Amino acid sequence: MKIELAESYGFCFGVKRAIKIAEENKNSSTYGPLIHNSKEIARLEQDYQVGLTDNHTIFKEGEKAIVRTHGIQKHELAELKQNNVDVVDATCPYVTKPQEIAQEMSEAGYSVVIFGDEAHPEIKGVKSYATHGALVVTTSKELEYIKLREKVALIAQTTRKVEDYMEVANYLIPRHKEVRVFNTICNATFENQEAVLNISKMADIMLVIGGKNSSNTKQLFSISHDNCENSYHIEDENDLDYSWFKDKIFCGISAGASTPDWIIQNVIDALQKNIK
Amino acid sequence: MKIELAESYGFCFGVKRAIKIAEENKNSSTYGPLIHNSKEIARLEQDYQVGLTDNHTIFKEGEKAIVRTHGIQKHELAELKQNNVDVVDATCPYVTKPQEIAQEMSEAGYSVVIFGDEAHPEIKGVKSYATHGALVVTTSKELEYIKLREKVALIAQTTRKVEDYMEVANYLIPRHKEVRVFNTICNATFENQEAVLNISKMADIMLVIGGKNSSNTKQLFSISHDNCENSYHIEDENDLDYSWFKDKIFCGISAGASTPDWIIQNVIDALQKNIK
């Protein structure tokens, strides 16, 4: 069986940057998982003693708190600073940007609509910056009975599919005097999505490697599955079921932006060892 | 044969307003045709002595110059004022708005893209307000080899089809950091378009009445023709060919925003007289 990696996959700029920050800040703690990959977080804890807490109020004066790549809510950051916690910001700059846009647009009198997952920490963070509130939706249907202002600002979760974003934009534009569409989907997301699209059209089995709660991995899997029915979302080599590969001749591989190369390599090694 | 008018048709707010202004300013001249309907312009000349010139430099100090509904170019207006001409502005307020947007966005550093007909006076006017220039397109294909800035402002000719506008918006949004989409297509246009869509689906012959150079009439005709093959764009009853109506049972009628009611009534009278 031929095994091939997508032309673009895995770690993005923001994740690489966050891991470097964590490695440089031994004996600290992140508030919330630094990235959506538990294996890499376990590595940081073991090799660099970077802990993890899901409560920002437990940080004491002078203690180091690393802010996760997805960012945190505005009031949480304010509280950390108020408590004189030593805040080390590993928020991806591509997430800081929509936070700033949400605040600016809300204060300029626009209705702010965020296209994304309300429960995802990135979106909780971005929404918290909209001074006068924001509406979070995943499809235009959720907008049908909502009264928005004449001027609407539209912001996307960085890891969403652009086609789905356009569906919401296409609903809003004919209905409002002005729709300010901010293309906040990050380039790495675009590149990984385009690459998985291309390889999944050729492969007869696809593996998409990444954390089960990783939004961008789920989007990659969705694109892959649209083009190759035999697509599997796995976290690492332990999730492999070798019966999937019976009679398959071309296995394509992609990985989410928070999936480290060493996990991808483990998967490839396992395949090469177990599949002819 | 049943004859039925579309639910919304004919004169829009801006045209009614312009005609009222012209009637109130006897013995004046318009620079360019006040509206795109030569019959109505002939009526204004005959009944109100409102003349027409296509050269703005011939107006003398103190003379009255009526600015047409479609607006004029920024430098032309400045020259008229500089020459102390008494300018009476009949520009439709829905056209003044995109002029203001073009200027504001251009000065704020956006690339200004105007969706419309480069040769149409409205668009010549709107474009002239973009201090640092603007690009006029009718399809996204014209944008393919154009380098625009990261921030783009998109403005539409007031009389265009919204579906065609969305095509350009959909091209721009994924390719730019921010696309500010101004919905400058006027409501009367929307309403007349929706009404002609509905009636043309039921009729077996459609008449769309309006000036041959009227942009909004051409759009209405295009929608009508998409749904009813036997659609005809006529200026008045003299353009009727009664052989069109052989074996037809339902004639739908729509009219452009610059078509006066008396022309529509003449058409209906002629049909009722000549078709059973």
Tens of pLDDT, residues A14-42:
999 999 999 999 999 999 999 988 989 99
Of the residues B122, B142, B191, B237, only one is catalytic, namely: B122
Q: Which pLDDT does position A237 carry in this prediction?
A: 97
Give the ranges where chain B is alpha helix by DSSP (H). 13-24, 38-48, 74-82, 93-107, 121-128, 162-172, 187-202, 215-227, 261-274
- B270 close to B259: Cβ distance less than 8 angstroms: no
- Domain covering A94-185 assigned CATH 1.20.20.10 in the classification: no
Secondary structure (DSSP) of A73-123: -HHHHHHHHHTT-EEEE---HHHHHHHHHHHHHHHTTPEEEEES-TTSHHH
Read off the DSSP letter of residue A129.
Answer: T
Grouped pLDDT means (10 residues each) for chain B, 276 residues: 95 92 96 92 96 95 96 97 97 97 98 97 98 97 96 96 94 96 90 95 97 91 97 97 96 95 96 91
- Selection from A249, A255, A189 nearest residue A221 by Cα: A255
Please list every residue in chain B whose beta carbon sits closer than 8 Å to the beta carbon of residue A183: 173-179
- B143 close to B137: Cβ distance less than 8 angstroms: yes
Please list every residue in chain B whose beta carbon sits closer than 8 Å to the beta carbon of residue A179: 180-181, 183
Instruction: Categorize the per-residue pLDDT at A194 as very low, low, confident or very high, splitting at 50, 70 and 90.
Output: very high
Q: Which pLDDT does position A111 carry in this prediction?
A: 98
Contact call for A183 and B182, based on CB within 8 A: no
> Do the interacting molecules here have an ipTM over 0.95?
no
Contact call for A183 and B178, based on CB within 8 A: yes
CB atoms within 10 A of CB A79: 15
Give how far the C-alpha of residue A275 lies from the chain's centroid of Cα atoms, to the nearest Å.
Answer: 31
CATH number at A13-91:
3.40.50.11270
- Domain covering A2-9+188-274 assigned CATH 3.40.1010.20 in the classification: yes
Distance from CA of B269 to the nearest CA of A (A): 37
Give how far the C-alpha of residue A85 lies from the chain's centroid of Cα atoms, to the nearest Å.
Answer: 26
Instruction: Categorize the per-residue pLDDT at A189 as very low, low, confident or very high, splitting at 50, 70 and 90.
Output: confident
Fold of B2-9+187-274: Cobalt-precorrin-4 Transmethylase; domain 1 (3.40.1010)
Distance from CA of B188 to the nearest CA of A (A): 14
Q: Which pLDDT does position A276 carry in this prediction?
A: 78
Residue of A nearest to B164 (CA): A174
Give how far the C-alpha of residue A102 lies from the chain's centroid of Cα atoms, to the nearest Å.
Answer: 18
Q: What's the rounded Cα separation, in Å, for the pair A28 and A32? A: 13
Q: What's the rounded Cα separation, in Å, for the pair A102 and A266? A: 40
What is chain A's length?
276
Q: What's the rounded Cα separation, in Å, for the pair B142 and A10? A: 36
Of A170, A179, A180, the CB nearest to B170: A170
Q: What's the rounded Cα separation, in Å, for the pair B168 and A169? A: 13
Q: Say if residue A272's pLDDT is above 90.
A: yes
Question: What is the three-class DSSP state of A179?
Answer: strand
- B52 close to B33: Cβ distance less than 8 angstroms: yes
- A97 close to A105: Cβ distance less than 8 angstroms: no
Contact call for B174 and A166, based on CB within 8 A: yes
Q: Which pLDDT does position A213 carry in this prediction?
A: 87
Q: What's the rounded Cα separation, in Å, for the pair B137 and A45? A: 56
- Selection from B17, B22, B85 nearest residue B49 by Cα: B22
Average pLDDT over residues A218-247: 96
Query: Considering only the top CATH level, what class is B13-90?
Result: alpha beta
Contact call for A174 and B180, based on CB within 8 A: no
Fold agreement (B2-9+187-274, B94-181): yes
Of the residues A122, A150, A229, A235, only one is catalytic, namely: A122
Of A165, A174, A180, the CB nearest to B180: A180
Task: Say which residues have a Cβ less than 8 Å from residue A39's Cβ, sequence separation at least 6.
Answer: A235, A236, A260, A263
Q: Which pLDDT does position B161 carry in this prediction?
A: 87
Task: Say which residues have a Cβ less than 8 Å from residue A202's Cβ, sequence separation at least 6.
Answer: A250, A252
Tens of pLDDT, residues A145-188:
999 999 999 999 998 989 999 999 999 999 999 999 999 998 88
Average pLDDT over residues A230-240: 97
Instruction: Categorize the per-residue pLDDT at A244 as very low, low, confident or very high, splitting at 50, 70 and 90.
Output: very high
Tokens of A205: 């089995």
- A125 close to A95: Cβ distance less than 8 angstroms: yes
CATH architecture entry for B94-181: 3-Layer(aba) Sandwich (3.40)
Q: Which pLDDT does position B249 carry in this prediction?
A: 96
Q: What's the rounded Cα separation, in Å, for the pair A228 and B55? A: 65
Q: Which pLDDT does position B265 carry in this prediction?
A: 97
What's the order of all strands across the beta sheet hosting B64-67? B51-53, B29-31, B64-67, B86-89
Q: Where are the domains of chain B?
A: 2-9+187-274, 13-90, 94-181
